[in-house]
Structure 1
């Protein structure tokens, strides 16, 4: 049992120690978890053993979830690019599709991009496919270094999704689409000093 009677002169030191420990603990990335096998079984109305028949471990289920969600995201971006009109900038289409998917799938987005989990093999296949596509599109902005342009785009797109998911009360002023349009315009027409 814990002793709750801390002498008054020690309470400030304990407060400082508690605060410092909490800050130290926040320095480590926090886990974003797939629901447990038992909770999934309960939601499906089946016995836990039925889940284990298909997914022998939570790691295998997690990997399958990551694979499915990442594939869905990549496919939705590709689909948006395929149906985009000839007068629409492909970078704007890709960015809008990326941001829209992330905002529509907040838990999956966090699991994919806000955790430090290893990349499953099938997601590793889709990762380069998406990366190559965005690098190819970014070549229109920076033909000399399209990878850096693509990385900048992804960083901002990720920020648009992550901040809007976590800071819902902020007065954003711009819709995600407006923000993406301004980003692409700024990249294509940088201010000259």
Structure 2
């Protein structure tokens, strides 16, 4: 027997439980071993010949995707002229939008990167810090974090809020962010 009071309390309890659960960061999952095996046309047991656990597969995926992203940014910097911060931001944003699932796995998941994968974070971070060092009058490390935060925001919001009327292209947004950092301070 359900009456209105019980239902209302349960409804409030359900909402409160969901809110509590959302307060904790959530992991973004790599496809299951079974799904990956199915996509390759092999039995799930075949995956275990190459990856003893889902964690090992996840690490290999993180390695491959992070390396691809950083290499894309480095290649763009090596190939392009112009402001290196704008070039790096464009490459970062373009890669994120072209690889939405990988981007979410790398940067929108609460999963800790194992110590064996530790060089990846600093590799990108150090490259952005070295580029930010060219901006006069700013401390390169906080400037790099600010840029990375802005680039991440552009990617994340473009991935998740496609229905918004942005009014700016991603290139225009990136340029505004970089120019804002480089603007003279009074």
Q: 1:120/1:143 Cα in 2 relative to 1: closer, same or farther (>3 Å)?
A: farther
Q: 1:15/1:82 Cα in 2 relative to 1: closer, same or farther (>3 Å)?
A: same
For the aligned residue pairs, the C-alpha RMSD in angstroms reads 1.4
Per-residue CA deviations over 1:37-67 (Å, capped at 9, x if unaligned) read: 1111111001112110000100000000000
The two structures have a TM-score, normalised by structure 1, of 0.91
Gap regions ≥5 residues in structure 1: none
Q: For 1:144 and 1:189, how far apart are their aligned partners in 2?
A: 10
| Range moving further from structure 2, 66-75 or 12-21 | 12-21
SS of the aligned residue for 1:29 comes to coil
Q: For 1:116 and 1:142, how far apart are their aligned partners in 2?
A: 34
Gap regions ≥5 residues in structure 2: none
SS of the aligned residue for 1:153 comes to helix
The CA deviation at 1:144 is 4.9
Per-residue CA deviations over 1:96-151 (Å, capped at 9, x if unaligned) read: 00000000000000000011112145542232222111101101225551000000
The two structures have a TM-score, normalised by structure 2, of 0.94
Q: For 2:157 and 2:148, how far apart are their aligned partners in 1?
A: 14
Larger Rg computed on CA atoms: 1
Q: Note the 1:1-193 alignment, pairs <5 A.
A: 5-85=1-81, 88-121=82-115, 123-142=117-136, 144-190=138-184, 192=186
The CA deviation at 1:24 is 1.1
